[in-house]
Amino acid sequence: MMHRAVKVCIRSLRRVTLRNNRAFQTAAGFGAAREDPMAYDSNNIFARILRGDAPCIRLSESETTLAIMDVMPQSDGHVLVIPKEPAVEIYELSVQAGADCIGEVQRIAAAVRTALAPDGLLIAQFNGAAAGQTVPHVHFHVIPRWSGQELRLHAREMAPREQLEATAERIRRALDAQSR
């Protein structure tokens, strides 16, 4: 059984450590309430695309989501599904916006499978820089996979626009066929 004085000392040490950690986070610009320094930036590339201030290759759009070609694809046919609601991570996204995104991810995944006939399909969503999130706006990756083909590195190399447009056209045709 732990002695009472030791328990009091441990509690006191925890309070001091927590207080110092909060002070450090605030001084470093992280804010006391948030461990992850990523905050919503209304000038992030997806916010700019959603406002029409930056170009993209659109596949489909609804009132709540936008599906575009990833300009730095990990695989041919890599698509991003972006909610129009501003949120950095999935925890901040409303339940309705999350549901709308998943519905669109499912529709895009089916179109990618029809258009490109991959051996498999990777669906991914990253939260925080430590997880690999590079844009501070929630988004979902739909990445076709072929056996024996390695993925390219995430967010590293731009694909030629002509190649992206040609792949997008194939996916759009599959989306149109779904609607009939």
- From the list 3, 78, 137, 139, the catalytic residue is 139
Is residue 154 among the annotated active site residues? no
CB 60 within 8 A of CB 74: no
Tell me how far apart the alpha carbons of residues 180 and 171 are, in angstroms, rounded to a whole number.
Answer: 15
User: Please, are residues 33 and 144 in contact by the beta-carbon 8 Å criterion?
Assistant: no
Residues 6+ apart with CB under 8 A from 64: 83, 84, 85, 96, 97, 100, 101
Catalytically active residues, by annotation:
139
